[in-house]
Amino acid sequence: MSNPFFDLSGRVAVVTGASRGLGQYFGRALARAGADLIITSRTLDSLKPFQREIEALGRNAVPLELDVRDHASIQRMAGQAAKAYPKIDILVNNAGCNVRKPALEISWDEWNLVLDTNLRGTFFVAQAIARQMIPRGYGRIINIGSVTSVFGYAGLTPYTASRGGVKQMSMSLADDWGKHGITVNCLAPGWFRTEQNKVLYENQEWYEYICDRIPLRRPGAPNDLDGAVVFLASEESRYITGQTLLVDGGISTGATRATVAKK
């Protein structure tokens, strides 16, 4: 790279939930910075287009099957990753799901689905990869949270509970694994269009409402996350751990556009 900062050449990154959405945003950014990838999804076929895209950038991409709700699947993926590469330097813990319903309508199974995926799955993937990082004394773990890690939203109770948990869990893991040279941070995007929320963006009234609450007056674009994920994966963040980095256009400030009445 022409810029010596944020160079990930020679690094290997695992990106979970890489068949679509934010997982692909993160994977592209890391590959462009020089990293080789292990990309995961519940189905291998869903990863083939992204694998070809990463290889077109001149980087390697090994697709692996992973269901983060299944402990055996996590262990299997970690073992396959260790065989694919002699080391894992970076983990982007991105796999997640959501159920949008009023709190009174959330079922037991829906609550478990979201928490098992977003919180329990995130922990056990981090644990499995950390076991490979610890003997080397090096690692960068980036757990993907959300603006809902620090904000509450009606209709998103299980999701906000899980993302708030990811934030707190990242702080505890940073304290636990710092002595092994591993940093653990939470990257918390604001409103970015994904498969999970694309129906919202089709509602013009909702879109204008959200833009009105974001100080930069727009939702996030894919490349708005590039700098943050590459920074947290790089040597430039070596003294940053246990932190939550919000990439949200400022919506977490709680700001709204003021309407001044004409006199």
pLDDT in tens, the chain (263 residues): 445 679 999 999 999 999 999 999 999 999 999 999 999 999 999 999 999 999 999 999 999 999 999 999 999 999 999 999 999 999 999 999 999 999 999 999 999 999 999 999 999 999 999 999 999 999 999 999 999 899 888 899 999 999 999 999 999 999 999 999 999 999 999 988 877 777 878 889 888 988 998 999 999 988 999 999 999 999 999 999 999 999 999 999 875 554 433 33
Task: Check: pTM over 0.85? Answer yes or no.
Answer: yes
- At 257 the pLDDT is 53
Tokens 């773990």, residue located: 141
Domains of the chain: 12-193+222-248 (3.40.50.720)
- Say if residues 16 and 23 touch (Cβ distance below 8 Å): yes
What does the DSSP 8-state code read for residue 220? B
- At 45 the pLDDT is 96
What does the DSSP 8-state code read for residue 43? -
Residue 137 burial (C-beta neighbours within 10 Å; 0-12, 13-18, 19+): exposed
- At 225 the pLDDT is 95
- Say if residues 11 and 89 touch (Cβ distance below 8 Å): yes
DSSP string, 95-139: --------GGG--HHHHHHHHIIIIIHHHHHHHHHHHHHGGGT-E
Active site amino acids: 159
45: left (phi over 0), alpha (psi -120 to 50) or beta: alpha
